[in-house]
Structure formats: C-alpha cells, structure tokens
Structure 1
Amino acid sequence: MFLGLDLGTSGIKGLLIDDGQTIIGQATAPLTVSRPQSGWSEQAPADWITACEAVFSALGQAHDLSTLKGIGLSGQMHGATLLDRADNVLRPCILWNDTRAAAEAEMLDGDPQFQRIAGNIVFPGFTAPKLVWAANHEPALFAKVAKVLLPKDYLRLWLTGAHVSEMSDAAGTAWLDVAARDWSDDLLAETGLTREHMPTLVEGSAPSGTLRDTLADRFGLPKGIIVAGGGGDNAASAIGMGCLEEGQAFASLGTSGVLFAANDAYRPNPASAVHTFCHAAPDRWHQMGVILAATDALNWFAKVAGSDAQALTAPLGPLQAPGRALFLPYLGGERTPHNDAGARGAMIGLDHADDASTLARAVMEGVAFAFADCRDALAAAGTTLERVTAVGGGSKSEYWCAVLASTLGIPVDLPEAGDFGGAFGAARLGLCAATGADVADVATAPKIARTIKPDAELITAFADKHQTFKAAYTALKEF
C-alpha cells in the first residue's frame, strides 16, 4: 500500500493505492487562504500539519494501514516557508499566487544570469523575489532565516525531520540551475542566501527519508516507511496522468490553469513566459503555460452572482459560437504570456439580454482564450500540441471542454472516471521510492473515455474572438 499526499491551496488530499495502483481510499481536509492586503496570499504552515493529521486519522479509521510502504508528496509550488535555526516558522507562508514581490521580481529578472541559469522569467509568484521582499520589508525577520522550504517540503520536515526538496518544485524558485538539476550558488548569492539555506535535493522518485517513529506509533503505521521526493503539483499530476514522453500534454482546469507538455530535453525560452522546469522523473523536463485563474474565475463570478458554478453552467446545451460579452480572467495578475502582476479582470461588451448564465459562458470562454495564449507561447518555445487530456475540476464540464477544444483547435481527451491528479502521482512516486520501480514503468496513461473534437464550423469564430481577447488586454492594460 502506498500513500500520496497533495498539499493544495484549498486543502490536503490523501490517496491510497495498492500494489497494482488501484485506488483503495482517500480523505481530504480543508485549508483557507489569508489575504491581509491587496495582492497578498498567505497560509499558516501549522494549518498544513493540522490538516495532514486529520487526513491520517480519517484514513486510519477507514483502512488498515499496517502494510503502508511508501509515501509520496505533491504540493502547491513557489511558497516561501521561512524557518529559523530551530525550525520555527518565522511568518505565514507567502503563496504562489501572491504578487507583493513584483518590484523585486523585476529587479532580479533584470539580471541576465537568472534567465540564463534558471531558464525562466523571474515571476512575482516565484520564491526568490519573496525573499528579497522579506529582506527589504522585514529585515529583522530575514536575518533569522536559516532554511527556506517549499510548502510540501515543510510537510516532509514534519514527516521525516529532514530538509529535502526535489527538482520539479525547486525549479520554480528561480534559484535552481534547471539544466544541471542543482542549486545555483550564484543565483542564491544575488538574494543574500547560500546553499546552507536550501534543502538538499533528490529526484522525485527517489527516497528522501523515512517516517518518524513517533508519527508511525501515533497513527498505527509500520516503522521505516519511505517518503519519496515527490513533485510540484503539476509535475506530480503529470506522473498521475502518465505524461512523461515528448508529445504528451494535458490541460488542467483547476483553481489556476495549466497547459503542460512533457519534454525529453531541456528547452528554455524565457521570452515566451513559458515555464521550463525539471520533471518529477529523472532526466526529463517539461514546459507549461500558466494562468492564475481558471475555475477560480468561474467560482468568483458565481459568488458575485449569488449562485454556484454548477447552477450557472447547467443551462448550457450544445456548443455555441462565442457570445458578445468578453471576459478577461486576470483577477490577480497573469503569468503566461504577459508576466503582468498588475493585470486585472474585465467584463466588456455587455448587453440587456445577458443574464448570469450567458456571463458564466463568457467567463468559460475567457479562460479558454487565456489557454490559447499559453498554446501560442508554447509554440514560440518550440512545443506544438496535437491533443491534450483535460483534468481538474473544470474538466467535469463537457461544455467547457468543448469550448477549449474549438479554441485550441485540437482534440481534448477525457479520461475514464478516476483520480489522476497530484495525489495519485505522489502515490506512484512513493511506490517507486519504496520498491525501486522505474517511474516510466509505473506512470502509465489512463484510458480515454471519449474525445471532444473541435467544432469545424466554430473554429474560426473562436479564433477571431481570441484575437479580440488579445486586443482587449492591450487596450485595457493602462486602465
């Protein structure tokens, strides 16, 4: 038996698989986000531990965990968890969707060695500019920083007592030499840090430590459980999806939106604002276009409309041509392709005939157009997509997947019912670390239940509206 733990922004999920990778149990515990100022997004690391304890307790009540052999970790990326020499948390973790460090990111990005070594634009949400922000705005606290951990790696510290990370998550800090798969001393020095501030690195499928005996006793687990390196949330999801080889890709309609493509070589192109990171499997990399609000945008609109997303989208029937209303989903800035922390959302082209349902459709279309921007950025970075598999909560809407297919102009595959996300990928990595199995043999792709093809009669309409979408961003940028 193997356990995957996925530390998300809205909760922690634990998923159990057996030796044949059949899912045999799962449990979740919620988390909340604090937004003390505009553009800020924080969580208390202690809440992650409390939630993880709840997941362990729930799984232990429902299942006999005496045969658990391995644990894998997946988690939200880029968070800055700052610890002192006694591993005490110095402040709330600054999360991936926090944009307070925009000025610091711009400053670091102006140093050519960051893009040259890290292979990416230094985005405000990355970890490195957050430490520069802390040095500038909380100098007394910054002076106490002994370790910087990513969120899932703080969870690992609680589980194992070890300061360890892995390549896929570390690649999102702007401190990693992504080609060499190692910390860059030069980049660390530019932010006032050294290698001593960083966790050691392992590959995602390799052991990172063993579960503390005290936790094993507390939750009725066997001694010596291996904890795998794991992966950042998207890389772990790719392991769950079996997305390892060149040409394999998926579109994640989650809180954020991700267009993810596996690569068999390191091919950075920072100018495209595409993320080029190490994969959670050895000797593999990946590229992804990232938008900050996907289902988050629809849930925001549903809240404003006093409804819920399912109720708003239920009346939608067969795919329609894009409506007049146009939505820009930049509720908290944007990454690909704009790298614009100041971008904000807009709804334009409204009409008396519009109601909550038609505006919800405009939101879904706007998110799809943002995905098309990511498609174009990936193409500029040398990756052309022939088809994608849709995952995430938004993929449960066939209408949204149909919009995505006709906007991207490629087939969208829907996997058979099942959970192929970060927790499942983490469990697979736990299996590899505990048994020595090759991740390429373990991470098989799910069976496809059906494929949604682009509507030949509507492709041009969606392509034209995408051009309007891009022009609207340019026109409203100074608003």
Structure 2
Amino acid sequence: MCKLITLGRNTSERSILLQPADFINLRMTGVTANCSFETEGFLPWKESTLKKLELEESFEIPELIESGRVVGKVMRRVADELGLSRDVEVVSGSPDFAAALVGTNTVRSGDLCDRGGTSQGITLCSRSKAEIEGLLTTPFFISDHWKISGLMNTTGKALEWLQEKITSKHHLKDELSEKRPTGVVFLPYLSGERSPHWDDNARGLFFGLDLETNAETLLVSVMEGVAHGISQIIGKMESAGCEIDNVRTTGGQALNALWNQIKADVLGKIVQVPEMKDSELLGAAIYAISYLRSCSIVEASDSLFRIEHVFHPDKEKHQFYQMYQPVFETLYENNKGLFRDLVVTKQSLMNTKFTEI
C-alpha cells in the first residue's frame, strides 16, 4: 500500500492495478481483469480503500472475475507462439491454498487437508465457526462453511536441513520404521513458529538424546516432531468441538511413505494420500472443469479426485505416541522464556566487536 501511495503522488497518468496473475492473463488474452480470490479477506484492493487514501483518481481496479469464470480467449499471436488452439479459453483460478483444498477434495465439513512441503498448512473445512486460540478462522470459499487453519514454519525444511548436516550418506532403513517411537522428541521451530504459538523466538530442540542415538534416529524424530505439531493443532480443533472425518495429505511430504505412516500413528487417524500429489495443479484444473461442465466446484472435485493409498494407524504405536504428545507440548511451554533469552543473547553477541588480544 505504501508503494501505491508513492506511485499515486508521483504519477500523473491513471494506472490500472493488476496482480501478477492478472498481468499474465492480460498478456494471454488482452483482457484487463481482477482475478483476485473473491472470498472475504483476500481482495488485495478495494474502491473504499483507494478513496480513504485519496487514490481513486490515480488508480483503476478492473472488473472482478470470480474463480472458475472465463477471462477470455487466448489471443491469436499467443496461441500461434505457444502452439495452442485459438479456441483455448483462459479461466480465472485461485490462490495456491484454495487450489490445494479443492485438489484434495477438502470440500465438505469434516475434511482436513495436511499440505506438507517446506512448511505446513493444516486446514479443516467446517460447517461451524470456531474461534480457536492460535489458529486462523476465515470464511470458506463454499457458502455456509468455515476454513480453520494452522500453519507451521519449517517442517519439510527441518528434515532437509538435518539431511544436509549429517551428509546424504545416511539413508532411512526399512527396519527403522519398526523402532518407533524413537524416544527423541524434536521441536521443529528452526525459524520461530506460527500455529499455535505465534512466537518468532521459538527455536528447534532435540530432547532425549543418549549414547544410542544415531543419525537415522534423528531423521525419524524430525518426522515425528512435525507429526506431533500437526497433532497439537488438530487437538485444538477437536477440543473446540470440530469433527474431523478425513485427513488427506498432499505436497512433497505425501511422497514419503514412512512419514505418512508416522502421521497416521501419531494422530491415531487414517491418512489418505491422493493420486495427484501436486494438488494445486489438480485444483486449478478443477476450477476450469467446473466452467467447462457448468457444474459446481464440489461436483468437479468429486469427479477428478482419486485416493491412491491409505495409511492405517498402528494402535500400539499410537498409544506410545500419545504418551510423548504432552512431552512435546510441555517442552515449548517450559522453554519459551529461555528461547527468548537465547535470541536476545545471540543478537547481542552478533552486535559485539571483540578486541583481539
């Protein structure tokens, strides 16, 4: 918004406001359109905001085209350059998170999407609105439903970080999956944490190391720690009265069978893995299909979504993981003051110039 104010004060000509996707659509179709997500809270600009900032004479907001609606046909020169039919139509899409939800068929109350890549997004579709401390509740893009979400900063990144530190020579052995829980509890807060703590000072922690701990144990404990974090978020949802019927995982983590099984064991819930792991791509296709078939997003998602694999929780392992869950949650509460002190001390150290003797 600060950039808009600066541009408005220093430009005499009236400009059209476009998001990056809108600009690509313009280059494809020649149509200036606002394809921002129409759900409350996701429109980047509003006429009322421009008026408050006295910028309505400086900028123009194009007509809003809802997700799943046609922007226009591909221009001839673009079609020829890309080798496309000149009859191809460009359909307005959605943000990545919305495409992932549609792509995992998370479209009914009780459906939960675990979107795991470098970071984590745990999103529940719920018919009931629930304001839960540490989580985010916003209107769902399906009427009369709510989106309840928890976000984790460095989940897949934590595993990648550890693999780099202990060298790529260490591979997870098949038999290691039988030696769980590892007995080492990991807090995956390598860059602060969002849900449920919203604490920039939170830091990573391995708890329970002993002489039998090896590289493979640490790798598995990272996956367990992420699963415990997901469990903490889901636990808050359920404590608030939310019902969870289906857990579907997507993203890079969905390719890791051991991690999928660990999630099922920690959560004590069946974890479904979609046929299409890149759910954002499938979600974008679903938006287009909903237009081509003149059907709802739910109907289009139902027609294209497929489950490839199902991971059932091991009841015995789940009982042990339930014992470790309060350890995981208590570790943060007991150390958050120390995390803050550690960050302050480190910053002070970085700003100190030592005198060489």
| TM-score scaled by length of structure 2 | 0.77
Alpha-carbon distance between aligned partners in 1 of 2:185 and 2:245, rounded to the nearest angstrom: 27
Give a deviation string over 1:275-321, Cα, whole Å, max 9, x none: 42432x5665432222122222211221222218xx53344543443
Larger radius of gyration: 2
Give a deviation string over 1:347-402, Cα, whole Å, max 9, x none: 33333322221111111011111111221233355422133122222122222112
Assess, with a 3 A threshold, how the Cα gap between structure 1 residues 455 and 278 changes in structure 2: closer, same or farther.
same
Correspondence 1:298 to 2:298? no
Whichever residue aligns with residue 167 of structure 1, its letter is F
Assess, with a 3 A threshold, how the Cα gap between structure 1 residues 149 and 287 changes in structure 2: closer, same or farther.
farther
Correspondence 1:159 to 2:28? yes
Alpha-carbon distance between aligned partners in 1 of 2:212 and 2:294, rounded to the nearest angstrom: 61
Contact 2:193 2:199 in 1 (8 A): yes
Q: Report the alpha carbon displacement of residue 214 of structure 1 after superposing the two structures with TM.
A: 3.3
- What residue in structure 2 maps to residue 246 of structure 1? 109
Alpha-carbon distance between aligned partners in 2 of 1:155 and 1:468, rounded to the nearest angstrom: 49
Runs of 5+ in structure 1 lacking a partner? 1-130, 177-182
Assess, with a 3 A threshold, how the Cα gap between structure 1 residues 454 and 190 changes in structure 2: closer, same or farther.
farther
Assess, with a 3 A threshold, how the Cα gap between structure 1 residues 285 and 197 changes in structure 2: closer, same or farther.
farther
Alpha-carbon distance between aligned partners in 2 of 1:246 and 1:453, rounded to the nearest angstrom: 22
3-state secondary structure, aligned to 1:427: helix
Q: How many residues align?
A: 332
Correspondence 1:426 to 2:284? yes
Give a deviation string over 1:118-156, Cα, whole Å, max 9, x none: xxxxxxxxxxxxx46x79xxx857966967765544543
- What residue in structure 2 maps to residue 374 of structure 1? 233
Alpha-carbon distance between aligned partners in 2 of 1:358 and 1:192, rounded to the nearest angstrom: 59
- What residue in structure 2 maps to residue 364 of structure 1? 223
* 1:83-98 pair list within 5 angstroms: none
Whichever residue aligns with residue 243 of structure 2, its letter is T
Q: Report the alpha carbon displacement of residue 443 of structure 1 after superposing the two structures with TM.
A: 0.9
- What residue in structure 1 maps to residue 121 of structure 2? 258
Alpha-carbon distance between aligned partners in 2 of 1:211 and 1:458, rounded to the nearest angstrom: 55
Alpha-carbon distance between aligned partners in 2 of 1:419 and 1:153, rounded to the nearest angstrom: 26
Q: Report the alpha carbon displacement of residue 258 of structure 1 after superposing the two structures with TM.
A: 2.0
Alpha-carbon distance between aligned partners in 1 of 2:321 and 2:53, rounded to the nearest angstrom: 44
Alpha-carbon distance between aligned partners in 2 of 1:318 and 1:168, rounded to the nearest angstrom: 44
Contact 1:167 1:201 in 2 (8 A): no
1:274 equivalent among 122, 125, 136: 136
Contact 1:328 1:469 in 2 (8 A): yes
3-state secondary structure, aligned to 2:90: strand
Whichever residue aligns with residue 164 of structure 1, its letter is N
* 1:57-456 pair list within 5 angstroms: 131=1, 152-160=21-29, 161-167=31-37, 171-172=41-42, 185=48, 200-264=63-127, 267=129, 269=131, 271-279=133-141, 285-307=146-168, 312-315=171-174, 317-379=176-238, 382-415=241-274, 417-419=275-277, 421-444=279-302, 446-456=305-315
Contact 2:104 2:305 in 1 (8 A): yes
3-state secondary structure, aligned to 2:210: coil
Q: Structure 1 residues 144-153 or 155-164, which shifts more? A: 144-153
Whichever residue aligns with residue 336 of structure 1, its letter is S
Alpha-carbon distance between aligned partners in 2 of 1:185 and 1:397, rounded to the nearest angstrom: 47
3-state secondary structure, aligned to 2:248: strand
| TM-score scaled by length of structure 1 | 0.60
3-state secondary structure, aligned to 2:322: helix
Contact 1:250 1:259 in 2 (8 A): yes
Alpha-carbon distance between aligned partners in 2 of 1:414 and 1:165, rounded to the nearest angstrom: 30
Alpha-carbon distance between aligned partners in 1 of 2:266 and 2:53, rounded to the nearest angstrom: 41
Alpha-carbon distance between aligned partners in 2 of 1:401 and 1:331, rounded to the nearest angstrom: 22
**Richer in strand (by share):** 1
Assess, with a 3 A threshold, how the Cα gap between structure 1 residues 168 and 458 changes in structure 2: closer, same or farther.
farther
3-state secondary structure, aligned to 1:372: helix
Alpha-carbon distance between aligned partners in 2 of 1:274 and 1:159, rounded to the nearest angstrom: 35
Runs of 5+ in structure 2 lacking a partner? 343-357
Root-mean-square deviation (Å): 3.5
Whichever residue aligns with residue 318 of structure 2, its letter is I
